[in-house]
Every structure is written in structure tokens, then in C-alpha cells.
Amino acid sequence: MIQISDLTFSWPGQSTPTLKINNLHIKKGEKLFLHGPSGSGKSTLLGLLAGIHTAHHGTIEILNENLTALNDAKRDKFRADHIGTIFQNFNLLPYLSPIENVLLGCNFSKRRQANLKAINITAEAQALKLLNELGIDEDTQHRSVNELSIGQQQRVAAARAFIGQPELIIADEPTSALDADNRDIFIKQLFEQAEQYQATILFVSHDAGLASLFDRKISLKDINGASL
């Protein structure tokens, strides 16, 4: 799913690199936990994997596509087609309902729309299915997202990430606002969705106590030569 080789990234005006990763390999269908303290470069790495930032040296391959060789428009298209993201602050549009927010995950990707057509389901039907499976009932599905609890907003964000079956799900500190019980429930729901079509999950958090729930854990400090 992901292969990083000889990666170096520095922010403008920075004398030393933020990231220097010689090698990182993530398998298809793997549930990987990446942890590290705040400011260690976790979000920077996610931005590189999502094609928002570009590496100064080295390669990032996702699904055998070298992101570092693509221009901005092609990276944006690749991200829309293949990567679902759950942000720490969810990034939901407050003037839309949960269903409308979820559908945004498909609106910008013909590939995701084709994935749904191949399994004979409409985007609207899968949005409803995802929300139901993630515990958002019918009444809540049509309310403003501003009226939803933090936990409900989080599950709407997860449904938006999964719609159209993108191969890679990136979750950036998505449980930081939840208590322990709701956190574990959310991760269980995340895994159940991923296993339906063998999506890969890259889950990033500073809370190393979650690591035992995943197939594999990696400390960014251990693989980032820039922090040594």
C-alpha cells in the first residue's frame, strides 16, 4: 500500500529537516498505529502521504504510484480517488446535514462513484448504510452537524472517509476529544468498516496506550532520522 524511501522534508526557512525517513512499508489491509509526541512531525508526514506537501528528496509510493512525480492537480485527484481522511477537528461543513457531509467524500471522485456502481449501490444508499453502521440514527442523519455531539461528528467524519471504498484511510488524532470508552468503541467501528473491503488504516496519535488495538505500532521517533 505505502512505500517510503529516502524521504527528506524541511519547512521553508528551516535549517534542519523535520522528517528524514529511510524506509517505511505498510501492507494492504494493515492497521498501523503511528505515535509520537506533539510537534514530532506526525501531521507533516500525513500531509506528505496525502499529497498536500511534497518531499524535497526521496519517494513516496502509494498503490505503486510515486506521489513525488505527480503535479499538484494529479496529487489532488489521487487523494480524492484513493485516500479517505479523518481529521482531528473533523472538518465537517456546519451548514450541511450528516448525509450531505458524507456524500462530499464521493462528489469529487469518479473512481469512488465507479466503486459504488460496481457493487450496485448508490452514493446516497451507502451514506445511509455507513451512518447507520456507525451509530447515527435516522433522525440525527438529517439534523445540522452543529447540533451533534463530538462523538457523533466524529462518526460522520469517519463515514465520509469510507464512502466509495478508498483503499487508504488516514486518521489524524481522531479520538483526542473522546473518553476511553467512546474512544475504544470508535476504533472498533473503524476496524469493522475497513475489514469490509480490506482498506488500510494509518492511525496517528500521541496516545501510545491505543497501540495494542492495532496490527502494528511504529514510533515516529524511531524511524525519523531528523529527530536523532
Q: Is the pTM of this model over 0.85?
A: yes
- Look at residue 2 and tell me if it is in a domain: no
pLDDT of residue 227: 57
Q: Cell 496490527 identifies what position? A: 215
pLDDT band at 151 (very low <50, low <70, confident <90, very high): confident
pLDDT of residue 206: 83
- Look at residue 25 and tell me if it is in a domain: no
pLDDT of residue 59: 95
pLDDT of residue 192: 92
Q: Which carries the bigger pLDDT value, residue 87 or residue 128?
A: 128
Residues in the chain: 228
How do residues 47-79 score in pLDDT, each as one tens digit?
999 989 988 899 999 999 999 999 999 999 999
- Look at residue 88 and tell me if it is in a domain: yes
Phi/psi region, residue 120 (left: phi>0; alpha: psi -120 to 50; beta: rest), is left
- Look at residue 181 and tell me if it is in a domain: yes
Across the chain, mean pLDDT equals: 91
What mean pLDDT is predicted for residues 140-153? 90
What mean pLDDT is predicted for residues 38-52? 88
What mean pLDDT is predicted for residues 131-138? 90
**What residues does 217 pair with on adjacent strands?**
33
Is residue 147 a contact partner of residue 101, using CB atoms and an 8 Å limit? no
Query: With 70 as the cut, is the pLDDT of residue 157 above it?
Result: yes
Min mean pLDDT across 71-85, 169-183, 207-221 is at 169-183
- Look at residue 175 and tell me if it is in a domain: yes
pLDDT of residue 93: 93
Strands (E), the chain: 2-9, 19-26, 31-35, 57-62, 65-66, 83-86, 168-172, 200-205, 216-219
Element (H, E) at 223: helix 220-223
pLDDT band at 96 (very low <50, low <70, confident <90, very high): very high
- The total domain count for the chain is 1
Query: With 80 as the cut, is the pLDDT of residue 228 above it?
Result: no
- Look at residue 17 and tell me if it is in a domain: no
Please tell me whether residue 64 adopts helix, strand or coil conformation. coil
pLDDT band at 197 (very low <50, low <70, confident <90, very high): very high
- Look at residue 86 and tell me if it is in a domain: yes
Residue 91 is part of a domain; what is its CATH number? 3.40.50.300
Domain of residue 177, residue span: 30-57+71-227
CA-to-CA distance for 34 and 56, rounded, in angstroms? 22
- Look at residue 47 and tell me if it is in a domain: yes
